[in-house]
Amino acid sequence: MKTFDIPVKYKSPVISVIKETRRTKDKLKRNFKPTVLEFERLTILIARHFGFCYGVENAVEIAYRTLNENRGRRVFLLSEMIHNPDVNADLLSEGVQFLMDTRGNRLIDFETLNSEDIVIVPAFGTTLEIQAELSSRGIDPYRYDTTCPFVEKVWNRANQIGERGYTVVVHGKPNHEETRATFSHSTSQANTVVIKDIREARELAAFIRKEKPKEEFYRRFEGRYSEGFDPEEHLVKLGVVNQTTMLASETQEIANYLKEELVNLYGLDESSVSQHFASTKDTLCYATNDNQDATYALMDEDADLAIVVGGYNSSNTTHLVELLEQKIPTYFIKSAAGILSEREIIHYDIHQGKEVISGDYLPESSRPKIILTCGASCPDAVVEEVLARLLELFQEKKNLEDVLEKSLVNF
């Protein structure tokens, strides 16, 4: 397993012990039960999988190495390195400048760039158009490219089915950096359309069945279809890929639904399905799958509340919140600072799309069970800070190291 040189500020001795012990005792990842820390005044259930994934660690390592090797030169990031406020704030403090915001709006005029500047491509990847624009200014877009290999895998999958005449349906958030990048790379080889959820898949099906005029398609999916797209011609053969951080269950639901629509429309059987629907394996990254499986295991626990830590604009973290809140009161915080007191917590409401303050969030039980997890872009150090804050809040006297040792013996 490859290891990365990550700044110490992002590491946590406590979390490292938990992860390494669980990994060593469960190398095949068959045990998704949480790590249970039994204190005198509370119990904390820590997810089996969480935190920096391969792609994030790779991106962070490249970004900091680039900074250290190029002191005195201008260093830019296309947009946020990853969707974590601590990491991005630290990079800004080191002198990095962001060229764009997360929606692709220019913060710095590309006209001001020159061949001596360094531009780091974030883990989400970027579009072919931006790559070409950088190249035209003498900047190699691949020199400091931290695009996650699992994102590139999606691009390759889209190109493969596109070359075989299938239209690519991208399941993703249309304004997300990764989805914009995937759309750009896919359209180089295939007719492509982006849908964000199963509801939009059902809307797309109406055009597959030719129940609605194509003019309505252009209005409904404006900005989300490739140039020259004709729904009457290009919704006949389909293949589904996704933004790597989407809910696996929803991507599968969308693929199954669109496949069934084509089967019914063209009277297909198992031997002829491939004439209209490409067999694409799931294109979610391993970390997204692991984190979501670990979250389902958390949902089986009899807990009082859940705390999910991460950047508010993190797609994979948001999906963990969506899952947990189906079963348990869930609070999405970006750091330990969000836990104001035993009575108030600052958290992000994913439905209102804003940060709110909730009161009386802790249960009345004398020894509550609290779930703790985070997304793939959250540093272990931040999770440890949240853990320490909870112990402080409950004035816990039991030694953390002793509790940890006792807990991990059971695995």
Contact in structure between 65 and 390 (CB atoms under 8 Å)? no
Give dist(CA 223, CA 203) in Å, integer.
Answer: 16
Q: Is 152 helix (H, G, I), strand (E, B) or coil?
A: helix
Give dist(CA 13, CA 85) in Å, integer.
Answer: 21
Residue holding tokens 């290999």? Answer: 149
Residue 48 CA, chain-centre distance (Å), reads: 17
Beta bridge partners of 380: none
Nearest Cα residue to 405 out of 35, 30, 43: 35
Nearest Cα residue to 55 out of 334, 292, 287: 287
Q: Is 280 helix (H, G, I), strand (E, B) or coil?
A: coil
Contact in structure between 311 and 332 (CB atoms under 8 Å)? no
Contact in structure between 374 and 382 (CB atoms under 8 Å)? yes
Of 178, 200, 261, 384, the catalytic one is: 178
Give dist(CA 322, CA 330) in Å, integer.
Answer: 9
The dihedral through the CA atoms of 7, 8, 12, 18 has a sign that is positive
263 burial (CB, 10 Å; 0-12 / 13-18 / 19+) is: middle
Quick one: angle between helices 380-393 and 13-25, nearest 10?
110
β-pair type (192-195, 167-171)? parallel
Contact in structure between 115 and 100 (CB atoms under 8 Å)? no
Q: Is 25 helix (H, G, I), strand (E, B) or coil?
A: helix
Instruction: Determine the length of the chain.
Output: 411
Q: Is 178 a catalytic residue?
A: yes
Q: Helix/strand/coil (H, E, C) string of 89-104?
A: HHHHHCCCEECECCCC
Where in the sequence numbering do the catalytic residues fall? Answer: 178
